Amino acid sequence: MTGEDDVTSLREFGHRVRVQRVISGDLTQEQLAARAGVTRNVVSAVERGEQARIWSGLGAWQLRSACRSRY
């Protein structure tokens, strides 16, 4: 994988997080962050494709699960 592929993957992951957040009841970044146990800044950075590597594995699962959970 090239550096360019990495950037594309990060952006795609961030886009998917945002789409899932919006279609899961139109959650705000703050609401998703609270559900996932992270800050809004982390959610924002992930959605911009800046920190998606940090959220591989368990972190990605936490964000996805937080989007899907209903209160």
Share above pLDDT 90 across residues of the chain, in percent, rounded to a whole number: 8
Average pLDDT over every residue of 8-17: 84
Average pLDDT over every residue of 9-36: 87
For the entire predicted model, the pTM comes to 0.67
Which pLDDT belongs to residue 71? 45
Which pLDDT belongs to residue 7? 64
Which pLDDT belongs to residue 39? 86
The domains of the chain, with CATH numbers, are 3-68 (1.10.260.40)
Backbone angles phi, psi at 37, to 5 degrees: 75, 30
Of the listed ranges 18-32, 36-50, 57-71, the one predicted with least confidence: 57-71
